[in-house]
Chain A
Amino acid sequence: MSNSLLINPSAFEAGLEAAFLARSKPNETGQAAFERFAKQRLPHRRIEGWKWSDFNAALRSTALTPAPKADRIDPSAFAALNPIEFTIVNGRVEAPAEEWPEGVRFGVMESVGTIEELESHPIVSMNVAMTAKSLGIEIGDGVELERPILIRHIAEGGGLSFAQSMIRVCPGASVRIIETYEGDGGGFSSHLFHGLVRDDASLERYLVNETGEAAVNHAICAVKMEARAAFRQTSLSTGAKLSRHETLLHFWGEGASAHIDSAALVAGARHADFTSHVLHKQPHCTVRQLHKGVAADSARTVFQGKFEVERAAQKTDAQMTANALLLSDGAEADHKPELEIYADDVECAHGSTCGALDDDALFYLRQRGLSNEEARSLLIEAFASEVIDGIEDDAVRDVFAARVAAWLEARS
């Protein structure tokens, strides 16, 4: 291709460009995004923020060959939640055929790009260039949506999957969203989530990543919070060859609060990265962040968390904790907690630990009659439970606890 925008593209990038050119009609936003990507290229380990999660290495020789094969989470896992369900298969949105509750609107629309802060992000550029349609949901003023919304992202075959969701929660409204990443897709999937939580509104987002062991995926969630808004996010990742879950949180109004919790349980040669950036622009905001990483075999967990507190953001109360549990000599955890504080009247703290299972506790449990496997499973479950128990909604907590139990069961 003589007019390629990419210089010396890898096999993956060449396939990506071909797929981009094959899109029916990329709009201006998409075109501009692809041009940005052509300069930014796949992030690699020589870029500081990606030194532990090298997407170029994971993807460069990946040939994009569609070969449908499904490995989905049993839908009964979510039945108790009675959710309003969307399925996005390889980026194609399948909306539920049911009446929407009053005050809730949704649409499948042309991709509208991203926020300015993310234009420098290569995978976001790729996503904006490649996503055909994005899913938009708006929860109207004061609407407290009782049923949760379930969005299932299913990547099938060995190709590309790009998706975007935009959620606007209007003043005083509240909604719970559960998202899954699943399917045995051996290619690359990318999801861009934009959230806006207006004054006094509440957004809860729960994420499960159970993609197959050949999958490479990237998910980024950018949320702007206005005054007294509340955001809670709990993520659980047991899947993917390489996954990275980024969260970009902006405290845009006073008195808002957020919980960002995550648990990575990875075995084999899997690699799970949780990277976040919380930007405090206004006073009296609170954030609690808890990460628990469990790595077995030669698996690896990565946690990079940054709290940035601008001068105006006095009385910020921010705490970050990251704990890793390594189950074998070949497992690895990399943590990088960062505080960047320009205000003087704030309470900000971070803590990071890494260790193995406690021999004293193992012996205690075995003396009580548990086998070695049972004792280890119990301690691993207990380690992750702080994240799971932090989910206030009983039904959602049960779903997450069951996913953790299923992971432990599959390993024993």
Chain B
Amino acid sequence: MVSNTEMIKGFDNPEYASQQVFRQVMNAMARPGTVVDLPDVDTVGSLHTASMALCLSFFDYETTVWLSDGLKKNELFNQTLQFHCGCSITENPSTAGFALIGDLMDLPSLSVFSPGNEEYPDRSTSVVIQVDYLSHMGGVRLQGPGVKGDVRLDAPVFTIDFLQQWNENHQIFPLGVDVYLACGRQVAVLPRTVMLGDVRCM
């Protein structure tokens, strides 16, 4: 009857912290390229603090989540999701409400995820990708609604291949996935409306 002694705790103040996450992510979504800080929280293994904060705030018993290989194998993380969020894990990325990519190596093509449908474009998959750095210095140029002036974002995810996939994703608006880049406690959002281009330092 010995319980798992490693089980991690959730937010110290769930109401306050999760509303802070919603507020910050909403700002990041409205102003693509903005890097916001999320509240601090304990985390598991290779999971970044921001990813954990997103999970604890966004996932509930009605959420289906697709996990990349590395995360799927992380027993403790799966238990934590089960305990704190009660979300269901799916093997099929095209039905997932959220996808969590622990490592860029595990990132599948964006087209495997659900772009939503004509009646409900909001039912697309929100893809959370963990990256090793997020910076305003150099990188790709963002254009579109909510972007004023020369806004740039640099992260290891912006490969030629990814930019092409992103372009295709942008073309199918109002359908398409939204991407959350998580690094440490920071998050930047790429809504489907944003255009990426003009790579300066790659």
A binds B: no
B interface residue numbers (CB < 8 A to A): none
